[in-house]
Chain A
Amino acid sequence: MYDVYIRKGYRFRMAGTPSKELVSLSDPAQLAFLPEKIPYVKPRLKVAEQDRVKIGSILFEDKHNPAIKFLSPAGGVVSKIQFGPRRVVEAIIVDRDCDNEQSVTFSSVSPQDLNELSREAVVDHILKGGLWWTFRQLPFRRIPDPRQKPPAIIVSLCAKEPFQPQPEVYLRDRADLMSYGLKILDKLAQGQVMVFSDGNQPAQGHDPWLTHRVFGDYPADDPGTLLYHIKKSADQNRAWTIGGQDLLLLAQFLSRGKYPVDRIVSVGGGKAPTPRHYHTRLGVPLRHLVDADALDDDVRFVAGGLLRGYGSTAEGFMGHYETSLNLISRGDRAEFLALFNPGIDKPTYSRTFLSRLNPGNLNYTCNIHGERRACIACLHCADVCPVDILPHMAYKAICADEIEESLEHGLLDCVECGLCSYVCPSKIELSRTFMAAKAAYAKEQAE
């Protein structure tokens, strides 16, 4: 096991950390698949409204690669297919048959069978089971081409973004499943599997799996961050990753022969009435996780972490890659004399507020706290970037259409953690710009 120290990053001291308590929720009446939240996939719908589906029936496939299928997380009737601007498929909503939910059966693979299966057979099995989406390929975090072999697969068993489910909670009593999952990965990556956890937390029996311990603040939990710090050559850049919970889904599918639908979701943030973990299902409606009527108006629903997740309304659903719901104050009120506030409770990366001396947790809001200005080269973004990009320079290169230069700066190493945008006093949308530039480059490469 190797220890990796990541010096840069940021530790949020945010109120509303989910407690480690795990509460099982009853199944909701509706579940959804949000194709829009799966990047780089162009859905070809295989169902229409009012069609009956089972758990594991096909909902849509990727037009670019029809082998990649996406299956229904619920059994019942497709009640609505929501389209957005330019007919982007936003959501496929399924009304669940509450008393008699049917499920498609697949063949199961026992650990002994797995040893005998070829790599291709395992890949085929996962493709058929519609779980290929659990893999993502760096640096674009798109679903990898099943025909390719990964240079490595990286599994993160830590969670540092505010807030994500703690591995300790979702691995509780599921150690066997995890071990099985890692065997599957071994098969796929031919031994090149890396598993890492947070070095600062006491080991919770994960030790036998780990290859690395990572010490550092957010986003040291990201596989991309680890890869940047340990890679020896450019061949490793296209490594695959899989989320800890997604690996459990994969293992569950292979061992039981049923499309898995379990999800452990954390609910946190300053506005969450009871921040804790919930055992629920994939594609759960947000309203099912929190009593939205009991909240006041000043709240934003964020599906996913606060740095990377998407804003939603209470009527929204959880995307397949998202595993947390965070509620924070909108903060859309102009504060009187904010400029002169010593700021004992103002969260900041800089040292310009007294909050640096305040040991307590702080209340974060969605207020921008300033106006868009030109870059003044404060270098906060360069200080915080976990992969040593000079974000202010890479940004200028992108603005000047110098894509080559931005790539030299390490644009593709960007883990899209959002810290550069977070710290910027000029309120420049750095990480959004990088994500857009990366997406444009990915498109260009695909052609």
Chain B
Amino acid sequence: MNPIHRLFLSQRKRFEPGGRLARWQPFFKSIENVFFGTAEITTQSPHPRDSLSVQRYMMLVIMAVLPCLFFGMYNVGLQAFLAAGRQPDLWPMFWLGTRTVMPLVLISYLFGFGWEIIFSTIRKHPISEGVFVTAILFPLTLPPTIPWWQAALGISFGVVIGKEVFGGTGRNFLNPALTGRAFLYFAYPVQMSGDAVWTVVASKGAQAVDAMTTATPLVVALAAPETGLVEKTLSKAGFDGWTLFLGLYPDSIGASSTLLCLLGAAALVIMGVASYRIILGDIIGIIGMGYALNWLAGNGAMPYLSLNPWYHLLMGGTAFGIAFMSTDPVSAPDTHAARWIYGICIGVLTVLIRAFNPAYPEGIMLAILFMNVFAPLIDHMVVRGKIRKRIPNV
């Protein structure tokens, strides 16, 4: 017998009813589930069951996000070195990034998982794997310099208010990771404001880490002087198309690289985990609205309206939001047709918020949360339509 199997076997009785740690059985089970599949078998038809479980579903999402996390560690280090005027050097850079990012990820897991354990134990429910996804998505949307206590507070708000109070994963109507981020965004604008992002600075002296702010591409674009010059202004500030696409600029930890989000989204769509309808809907909404604004641009109008619509996909957290946040199946609508509408509305709203609401230079987070709230309504309309088409059978 495999030694890990023996370890779980020897510890199991402590967590079973009557054991000393019986209250913490959900915790034990969730750890055991990482190492072992279930031994449970069906008792009635259908006798065979699909090999896919919610655990694997969530694990695949985490795998798809990991490249963004590693890129985030690299980029945080790189931007710190650039800001300090030091020669980029791969390993020290990566180490600095790791030192900055890993604590945030760990805090996120510690508090997210912690709340889940507390709620599951009280409810006597199994621990749902959704929280592992929430806890990795959340820190990637944060600026690297965010105080640890704020990260802890954010994930706590996201998990507890965004999810647990409604009954846990599967019963929440808001995306918990975004709920946490939105909470920080409104509660602590100094650290989270969308118009500037804090870069960790690698100083040379004893004082190892400092911080500075720079304007995000979104703000730079908004401040473009003249119609037709938006891309040039961006380029002058160091945000040409390629930089934005690759994500090599100061931004939230993991959300900057459109390329990696694209790869992650592609992997999830190929595996059928993320809904391609939502993703395409998002893109159609953004590009469509972008061109519509181009049409309005001209004499006297805001120069921002003339921005090449594809830049909306490159700047800010759009790609990350599309790939990993809007595709959360629980907070999205529950029918395919509604998911198209949901995606398109998210895209349109993102661009509208960006263009016309200078207080919120980044629109994707608010657009997704807003549409989360409307998802049941779209579902309702789609389902009514479907029912009308059926020949009644009562």
- Interfacial residues, chain A to chain B (CB-CB below 8 A): 14, 139, 231-234, 237, 300, 302, 304, 306-311, 328, 330-340, 343, 346-353, 355, 364-380, 382, 388, 390, 392-393, 407-413, 418-419, 421-427, 431-432
Does the CB pair B383–A393 fall under 8 Å? Answer: yes
Cα–Cα, bound, A5→B330 (Å): 32
Complex contacts, B39 vs chain A, CB 8 Å:
332-334, 367
The answer to whether B335 and A382 touch across the interface, beta carbons within 8 angstroms, is yes
Contact sample, A vs B, 14 pairs, CB 8 Å cutoff: A232-B391, A310-B44, A311-B43, A348-B52, A350-B52, A367-B37, A376-B130, A376-B170, A382-B335, A407-B394, A409-B387, A413-B390, A421-B46, A426-B170
Query: Are A347 and B48 in touch, CB under 8 angstroms?
Result: yes
**CB–CB B41/A332 < 8 A:** yes
Contact across chains for B334 and A393 when beta carbons are under 8 A apart: yes
The answer to the question of B332 belonging to the interface, with a C-beta cut-off of 8 Å to chain A, is yes
Known contacts A335-B37, A413-B393, then 8 further A-B pairs from the complex at CB < 8 Å, ordered by chain A residue: A300-B41, A308-B46, A339-B33, A347-B51, A351-B272, A352-B56, A368-B40, A407-B393
- List residues of B (24-72) whose CB comes within 8 Å of A's CBs: 29, 33-57, 59-60
Closest to B37 in A: A338
Assuming the A-B contacts A311-B44, A336-B4, are A348 and B50 also in contact, with contact meaning beta carbons closer than 8 angstroms in the complex?
yes
The residues of A that contact B332 with a CB separation of less than 8 Å are 377
How far apart sit A237 and B390, CA to CA, in the bound complex (Å)? Answer: 12
The distance from the CB of A237 to the nearest CB of chain B, in whole angstroms, is: 5
B2: which A residues are within 8 A, CB to CB? 336
CB-contact partner of A425 in B34, B52, B168, B330, under 8 A = B52
Q: Does B124 contact A (CB under 8 A)?
A: no
Q: Select one of A335, A392, A407 contacting B334, CB under 8 A.
A: A392
A93 CB, nearest partner CB in chain B, Å: 23
Other-chain residue from A331, A346, A425 in contact with B54 (beta carbon distance below 8 A): A425
| Chain A residues, CB < 8 A from B390 | 388, 408, 410, 413
Point out the residue from B4, B59, B273 that lies within 8 Å of A339, measured CB to CB: B59
Q: Which residues of A contact B44 (CB under 8 A)?
A: 310-311, 432
Q: In the bound complex, how far is the Cα of B390 from the Cα of A379, in angstroms? A: 19
Q: Which residue of chain B lies nearest to A420 when distances are taken between CB atoms in the complex?
A: B46
**Docked-complex contact B36 and A335, CB < 8 angstroms:** yes
Query: How many angstroms from the CA of A351 to the CA of B57 in the assembled complex?
Result: 11
CB neighbours of B4 from chain A (8 A): 336
* Residue of A339, A350, A375, A393 touching B170 (CB-CB under 8 A): A375
Q: Is B288 an interface residue (CB 8 A)?
A: no
* A427 near B49: Cβ-Cβ < 8 Å: yes
Contact A233-B391, Cβ < 8 Å, known A351-B272, A369-B50, A376-B130? yes
CA distance A153 to B386 in the complex (A): 28
Q: Is the CB of A311 within 8 A of B5?
A: no
| Contact among A300, A332, A376 for B57, CB-based, below 8 A | A376
Q: How many residues of B contact A (CB 8 A)?
A: 59
Inter-chain CA distance A346–B392, complex, in Å, is 39
Q: Which of B219-265 contact A (CB under 8 A)?
A: none
One of B36, B386, B392 near A334 (C-beta < 8 A): B36
- CB contacts under 8 Å to A, within B281-316, are none
Given contacts A302-B47, A331-B41, A351-B272, contact A370 B53 (CB under 8 A): yes
CB-nearest residue of chain A to B394: A407
Query: B380 → chain A, closest Cβ, in Å?
Result: 10
Q: Are B45 and A307 within 8 A (Cβ)?
A: yes
CA distance A184 to B339 in the complex (A): 50
Q: How far is the CA of A233 from the CA of B57 in the complex (A)?
A: 41
Interchain CB contact under 8 A, A422 and B50: yes
Whether the Cβ atoms of B50 and A425 lie closer than 8 Å is yes
0/1 interface trace, chain B 119-139, chain A, CB 8 Å (1 if under): 000000010111000000000
Q: How many whole Å from A125's CB to the nearest CB in chain B?
A: 32
CB distance from B16 to the nearest CB of A (A): 15
Query: Complex Cα distance A376/B134, Å?
Result: 14
Contact indicator A378/B50 (Cβ below 8 Å): no
Cβ-defined contact, A350 with B50, below 8 A: yes
- The answer on a CB contact under 8 Å between A350 and B272 is yes
Nearest CB in chain B to that of A235: its residue: B391
Q: Report whether A390 and B335 are in contact in the complex, using a CB–CB cutoff of 8 Å.
A: yes
Residue from B41, B126, B169 within 8 A of A368 (CB atoms): B41
Residues of B within 8 A of A234 (CB): 391-393
Query: Nearest 10 pairs between A and B by C-beta?
Result: A370-B53, A374-B170, A338-B37, A418-B46, A364-B48, A346-B51, A335-B37, A334-B36, A412-B393, A334-B39
Minimum CB distance partner of B129 in chain A: A373
Bound-state Cα–Cα, A328 to B48, Å: 9
* Across-interface contacts of B56 in A (CB, < 8 A): 339, 352, 370, 425
Query: Nearest residue in A to B329 (C-beta to C-beta)?
Result: A377
User: Is residue B21 contacting chain A, with contact meaning CB distance below 8 A?
Assistant: no
Given contacts A330-B41, A340-B59, A390-B383, contact A352 B52 (CB under 8 A): yes
Q: How far is A392 from B144 in the complex, measured between Cα atoms in Å?
A: 40
- Nearest CB on B from A139, distance (A): 6
Q: Does B204 contact A (CB under 8 A)?
A: no
Per the bound structure, the CA–CA distance linking A423 and B126 in Å amounts to 21
